[in-house]
Chains A and B, each alone.
Chain A
Amino acid sequence: MKKVIAMLLSLTMVFGMAACGGTDTQEEGGTAAEEAAAEETEETADADSAKTDADAQDGAAAGSYKIGFSVKTLTNEPFQAFIADMIQVKVEEAGCEFVLATTDSAEDVAQQVSQIEDMLVSGIDALIVNPLDSNAIIPALERCKEENVPVIMVDSGPAEETDESLYVTYIGTDNYAGSVTAAEKMAEELGGEGKVAIVRGVSGNTAGEARANGFKAGLEGTNVEVVAEQPGNWSNDDALQAMENMLIANPDIDGVYSCSDVMLDGILEAIDSAGAEDILIYSFDGLTNGCQLVLDGRVQATMQQYPSVMGELAVEYLLQILNGEKTAEDFEKFVDSGVAYVTQENAEEALQNAP
């Protein structure tokens, strides 16, 4: 019996010690500067009186705030990591503290909500969020509103009937418009007629849905027909399988639209093993691997997003609100962070900016 008590207490102690060292070993937010800032801001970390405290503390210079970023998993998500890195850089430049919360899978909506709740408890002054699910995030946004914590959404936007007072603005790519452009370009290349397939993302993801719908809309009025669309679930494995099977059903496809660069490897493999040729491949995201493939000529085009712009603008706007320079009403509800059409000509340059 005694042995058990000793074992369990020492586990608790080990856990405690690990917790102590935890903030040091953290990847995304563990710099010495942050720890110093953390010590300062711990005292002022009371969400309810955040604004007044900060205003009282400093005069002209920006106050030392705690800004949180809640995003899905960063595993295998260079795009999200890009946004997170940019936010961190901008936040720390302004002398504030950066807190990152990522979920452990690309799907755990409940976890994102509890992480935001926990961040509120730890006293963040403002929140940037890339919601896993635009509906499920609403209660978390409502809680932020109760605590007067301004929220900016990036990359994935609010659901259709979301109360506009819950967020300051949504900064993101106009996935729909970008895909319309991609579709128009592909239709042009195909001479106005042909058959294409779409490899979608995870169903229900607003960005993915917008891209697929935008692409289909862009093809309207041409004789280019979408003969198949299956979800690739943002995974090479699933995309490979889907593409292989779509090629069986439609061996004479002329073009493929991938809703993200992350699925390109699988799609290319499928096309290779089927021995299919002359298939135009268009994609979205403009990641390093995507731009490289465009440069190599294996993929014809990708729509590059500007995740760094999203992060930069989000931090800038939030600081303006926290410093009292502007209020939430001063911002448009949607800020387009822009999208660029990347082809072989400008791929080299795009590669420089690619996540």
Chain B
Amino acid sequence: MQKSVLKTKEFFRAVSGRPLVRTLVIIAAVCAAAALIPNFLKFSNLMNVLRQASVIAIPAIGVTMAMITKGIDLSTSGVIVFAPMCVVVLYRGGVPFFLCALCGILIGILAGLLNGILIARVGVLPFIATYVSGTIMLGLTMVIGNGGSVTGFPKGFTQIGNGSVLGIPWSNLIMLVCVAAGALFLAKTKHGNRIYALGNNEAVIRMEGLSPEKLLIAIYGIGGFFSAIAGLLLSSQLSTVHPTQGNSYQLDCVAACILGGTSMLGGSGTVVNSALGAVGIAAMRNALNLLGLHPYVQNLVLGSLIIFIVAVNVLLKRRERRQQESFHIRRAENG
């Protein structure tokens, strides 16, 4: 009798996992927003929201991977300004644009690798290592641009951020491609599975004969890659590089991952969910803008939301762990 009860409880938990709950909540929130805010569901507005979300969702791919391994990446805001600044400065110096863009992406990767080395080889805590590297990059950006914005991208470049094809902005398409690539990599490839292993059970990787350190460095390198792409995308949307353009993304990317169910304690999270979280954050800012609320209200709401979601997340994990422990104990007792 007890065994069958336990079995149905397991079954229920497996089917109605947290992602399902989250989807329901999102649908509820969207309905509430649509009902209360005029123009929210207009096609142009939704496309706008997705366009604004793309700059959050793309770096969130890297942040998700970092969080799965119990780390974090706060350097996104730094790369988002530093990479395009280097690109535009090189371009103004006469280097062909294709090479400049390549350089920009390379710089992002290098920054990410540096983060990874600091975290994996030197042993600095992830949040401070990435926070500091992000700040250094921001500082360098301000030195290069003398604190101001720098413009001078080729004409076609700004079309990427602002143009559309068949009514769908290029930004959204780029976001889809990156998210799809990231999701497939994480879920379907062997390397991707190893990332989850890093977060859950590091020993498995060593048994395979691989080095967890090298994998960790690679993860942050990937994060830098995506942050650089997001930076170029943002600059193409703004047609300039402004040294503060990345400021809000530091927290927004992390919030997007958390909203998407990536746990702060590591081991779980998917790219697609984080991307949905990014859309959620962008939608929330958009809703507050459309309502004409003061920006400080945006701050109050976002700050509270983040703390609330993480608190719920952590409390749920603790309850789950306790339930698992008692389940195992009961199982052991029952023989």
Contact = CB atoms under 8 A, between A and B. Distances in A.
A69 B240 CA distance: 22
B239 A136 contact: yes
Nearest to A110: B245
Interface residues of B, number: 58
Interface stretch (B32-40, B112-120, B215-223, B262-270): B32-40
Interface in A96-113: 99-105, 107-111, 113
Contacts of A104: 295-296, 298-299
Residue with the greatest number of chain A CB neighbours at <10 A, chosen from B44, B244, B247, B316 = B244
A121 B42 CA distance: 8
B247 A114 contact: no
Contacts of B55: 110
B36 A20 contact: yes
B240 A110 contact: no
Given A107-B244, A142-B162, A159-B151, A114 B292 contact: no
Nearest to B282: A114
Contacts of A110: 55, 234, 237-238, 242, 245, 248
Interface stretch (A7-15, A54-62, A255-263, A308-316): A7-15
A108 B244 CA distance: 6
A205 B244 CA distance: 13
Contact of A22 (B28, B142, B158, B297): B297
Interface residues of A, number: 60
B48 A13 contact: no
A202 interface: yes
A96 to B, nearest CB: 15
B295 A118 contact: no
Interface in A63-112: 73, 75, 99-105, 107-111
A114 B151 CA distance: 19
B95 interface: no
B21 A99 contact: no
B291 A22 contact: yes
B276 interface: no
B247 A121 contact: no
A108 B149 CA distance: 12
Contact of B25 (A8, A16, A115): A8
Contact of A109 (B161, B244, B295): B244
B251 to A, nearest CB: 12
A136 B242 contact: yes
Contact of B301 (A15, A20, A118): A15
B148 A204 contact: yes
A113 B238 contact: yes
A102 B294 contact: yes
A121 B44 contact: yes
Contacts of A122: 38-39, 290
A115 B289 contact: yes
A135 B151 contact: yes
A114 B148 contact: no
Interface string A252-271: 00000000000000000000
Given A118-B45, A139-B239, A203 B148 contact: yes
Nearest to A11: B308
Interface string B209-230: 0000000000000000000000
Residue with the greatest number of chain A CB neighbours at <10 A, chosen from B44, B149, B308 = B149
Contact of B32 (A4, A13, A114, A118): A13
A97 to B, nearest CB: 10
B207 to A, nearest CB: 35
B158 to A, nearest CB: 7
Contacts of B32: 12-13, 15-16
A5 B287 contact: no
Nearest to A161: B151
A330 interface: no
A231 interface: yes
A117 B48 CA distance: 7
Contacts of A42: 38
A19 B148 contact: no
Given A12-B29, A203-B146, A26 B292 contact: yes
B147 A204 contact: yes
Contacts of B296: 75, 104
Given A7-B312, A139-B158, A109 B149 contact: yes
A111 B44 CA distance: 18
Interface in B136-161: 142, 145-149, 151, 158, 161
Contacts of A136: 149, 238-240, 242, 245
In order of increasing CB-CB distance, the 10 nearest A-B pairs are: A204-B148, A203-B147, A104-B295, A135-B240, A107-B244, A118-B289, A135-B151, A136-B238, A121-B45, A16-B32
5 contacts: A16-B35, A99-B292, A113-B237, A113-B238, A118-B286
